[in-house]
């Protein structure tokens, strides 16, 4: 794919990722967030965080399955959007639910398991966002950078459980997220096991092919 | 390698035209993508939909301001009709609070009957009209506190449940009242999924049921009760969490044992039988100390017994409210 096209697709993702936020602001200013706008803002920003986390984690499997290596170019932007919506989610909770009270936020966060999980998800995304630049990738080295960015799995798992734990009885939606996440993680586990397999028992029999 | 004999469009179109055309296509793709995302977002996140339109109730008795001490009216701003009818927990229609109004649109309550039976002298199947004639319909302006930590102020139309109970003459062996919602998956689409154990059942202790604040409501804002709020008749117990206020009631049974109520059976550690509003006893997963009053910007502190302690506190004297949550 041409550099020019990549830039265009990046623009496409940038614009589309901002649309939920634009509509939230538009609806808020027109009083169209329903009866409980506070709750709607918290819920929607949380949902967007999960959606972007899932999209980010779908890049590698999709790329391997389809062979479309250019997909990797978009992963950073998707991941940064996940972090962006995660921060908005926290800010909504902090301002609308906790009325900007730092102690109120901290005590509540430590008291509730679902909030501990949610905070964990957001906190582990901080180093990932910081080290998302090309300069940081170079400085860390690919191997270390990749190891660090496996924290994205932690963020996604904590995030989905965090969502599941607040639902009263209708768990269908969080379970859909969990199922998609399970597929994406399952793919990685399968790849991992395949690569971990010891070399074939009779290596001598296999003539080495120059790579 | 390019075949020199094949001429692509690019080779014949002047570069400036080619690029402007490409720019145009890209602008189109960008716009279409943005619109598609917007439409998808709107579709997945609808709010305020569903028409609610019910007739005006004639001959309504308004509560007197001088009777404020009985708790029949609260002097706090009333929540809007739109919000009361478009933000509902009514799993029989939808588990999405914003989705109940559209799903309950056109809910047919013609020929509605309420069976009153069990430990009573005079069991009876009431036609709705006859039931509503038992007492003048009064306006009661109550706080409504949901267990999910949001609240409203609702001008109900109804009458004390005790009026009905007195008509059927409870036996002294009757210790509890059990209520049941209509079971009809054709009219209540939410019942086609097993998200709760249908039909919905709620219950009160006899002294709670006889308290004048506990009402059978059949209207709001001077209109017949809209479907999302539990048409045609529902229970309202203002000092308890909203889920105790069972909707679309078809059966009332007086019993000797504490009934097995829906939410309490679904998650016994989270929802008790009593479910009295209590800011000191948190839900295991969230705090009950404050509430989001619908239509207001900030949060309000939650009041003991939802502000009805003066009227109902004596019912629970000596009871451990932490154990009996």
- pLDDT tens digits, B17-68: 767 888 888 889 899 999 999 999 888 888 778 888 888 988 888 776 656 6
Contact A166 B298 (CB under 8 A): no
Give the best residue of A4, A6, A35, A43 to mutate against chain B (max B CB count within 10 A).
A35
Give the best residue of A114, A168, A173 to mutate against chain B (max B CB count within 10 A).
A168
Which whole number is the average pLDDT over B238-267? 97
CA distances from B28 to A20, A132, B63, B202 (A): 20, 31, 61, 56
Quote the minimal CA–CA distance from A142 to chain B in Å: 33
Contact B34 A15 (CB under 8 A): yes
Q: How confident is the model at residue B92, as a pLDDT?
A: 97
B82 close to A (CB below 8 A): yes
Question: Up-side HSE of residue A62: CA atoms within 13 Å toward CB?
Answer: 13
Contact A35 B38 (CB under 8 A): no
Q: How confident is the model at residue A167, as a pLDDT?
A: 87
Q: How confident is the model at residue B45, as a pLDDT?
A: 82
Q: Is the pLDDT of residue B71 over 50?
A: yes
Q: Is the pLDDT of residue B2 over 70?
A: no
Give the best residue of B40, B81, B286 to mutate against chain A (max A CB count within 10 A).
B286
Task: State the helix-helix crossing angle for A151-166 and A172-196, rounded to 10 degrees.
Answer: 160
Distance CA A194, CA B168 (A): 74
Q: What does pTM read for this prediction?
A: 0.87
ipTM over 0.85: no
Distance CA B174, CA B152 (A): 33
B268 close to A (CB below 8 A): no
Q: Which parts of chain A sit beneath pLDDT 70? A: 198-211
Chain B neighbors of A36, CB-CB under 8 A? 87, 97, 150, 292, 294
Which whole number is the average pLDDT over B96-112? 94
Task: Give me chain B's average pLDDT, please.
Answer: 92
Q: How confident is the model at residue B3, as a pLDDT?
A: 61
- Which SS3 state, helix, strand or coil, does residue B71 take? coil
Put simply, the chain A residues between 56 and 115 with a CB less than 8 A from any chain B CB are: 97, 99, 108, 111-114
Q: How confident is the model at residue A211, as a pLDDT?
A: 46
Q: Taking CB atoms and an 8 Å cut-off, how many pairs form between chains A and B?
A: 73
Give the closest residue to B324 by CA, choosing from B267, B281, B262, B265.
B281
Q: How confident is the model at residue A209, as a pLDDT?
A: 52
Give the closest residue to B251 by CA, choosing from B146, B154, B164, B163.
B164
By Cβ distance, the residue of B37, B41, B287 closest to A108 is B287
B39 close to A (CB below 8 A): no
Q: How confident is the model at residue B285, as a pLDDT?
A: 87
């Amino acid at each position: 794919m041409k550099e020019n096209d990549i830039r265009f697709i990046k623009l496409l993702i940038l614009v589309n990722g901002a649309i939920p936020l634009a509509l939230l602001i538009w609806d808020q200013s027109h009083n169209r967030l329903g009866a409980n706008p506070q709750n709607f803002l918290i819920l929607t920003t949380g949902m967007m965080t999960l959606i972007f986390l899932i999209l980010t984690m779908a890049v590698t499997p999709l790329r391997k399955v389809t062979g479309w290596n250019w997909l990797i170019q978009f992963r950073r932007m998707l991941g940064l959007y996940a972090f962006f919506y995660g921060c908005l989610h926290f800010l909504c909770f902090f301002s609308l639910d906790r009325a900007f009270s730092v102690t109120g936020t901290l005590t509540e966060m430590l008291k509730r398991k679902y909030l501990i999980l949610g905070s964990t998800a957001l906190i582990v995304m901080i180093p990932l966002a910081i080290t998302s630049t090309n300069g940081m990738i170079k400085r860390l080295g690919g191997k270390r950078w990749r190891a660090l960015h496996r924290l994205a799995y932690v963020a996604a798992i904590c995030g989905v459980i965090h969502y599941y734990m607040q639902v009263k009885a209708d768990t269908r939606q969080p379970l859909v997220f969990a199922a998609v996440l399970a597929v994406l993680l399952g793919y990685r586990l399968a790849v991992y096991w395949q690569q971990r397999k010891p070399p074939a028992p009779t290596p001598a029999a296999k003539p080495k092919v120059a790579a | 390698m390019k075949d020199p004999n094949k001429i692509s469009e690019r080779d014949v179109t002047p570069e400036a035209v080619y690029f402007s055309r490409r720019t145009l296509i890209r602008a189109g793709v960008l716009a279409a993508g943005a619109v598609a995302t917007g439409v998808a977002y709107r579709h997945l996140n609808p709010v305020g939909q569903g028409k609610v339109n019910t007739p005006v109730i004639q001959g309504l008795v308004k509560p007197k301001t001088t009777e404020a001490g009985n708790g029949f009216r609260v002097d706090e701003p009333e929540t809007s009709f739109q919000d009361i009818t478009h933000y509902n927990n009514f799993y029989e229609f939808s588990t999405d609070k914003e989705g109940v109004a559209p799903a309950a649109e056109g809910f047919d309550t013609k020929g509605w009957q309420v069976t009153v039976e069990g430990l009573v002298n005079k069991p009876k199947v009431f036609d709705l009209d006859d039931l509503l004639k038992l007492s003048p319909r009064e306006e009661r302006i109550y706080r409504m506190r949901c267990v999910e930590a949001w609240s409203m102020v609702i001008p109900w139309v109804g009458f004390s449940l005790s009026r009905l109970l007195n008509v059927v003459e409870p036996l002294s062996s009757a210790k509890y009242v059990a209520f049941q919602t209509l079971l009809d998956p054709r009219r209540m689409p939410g019942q086609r999924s097993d998200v709760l154990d249908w039909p919905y059942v709620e219950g009160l202790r006899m002294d709670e049921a006889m308290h004048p604040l506990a009402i059978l409501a059949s209207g709001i804002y001077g209109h017949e009760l809209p479907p999302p709020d539990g048409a045609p008749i529902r229970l309202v117990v203002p000092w308890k969490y909203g889920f105790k206020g069972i909707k679309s009631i078809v059966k009332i049974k007086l019993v000797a044992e504490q009934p097995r109520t829906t939410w309490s059976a679904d998650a016994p550690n989270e929802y008790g039988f009593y479910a009295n509003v209590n800011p000191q006893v948190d839900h295991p997963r969230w705090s009950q100390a404050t509430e989001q009053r619908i239509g207001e910007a900030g949060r309000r502190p939650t009041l003991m017994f939802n502000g009805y302690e003066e009227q109902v506190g004596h019912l629970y004297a000596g009871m451990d409210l932490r154990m009996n949550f």
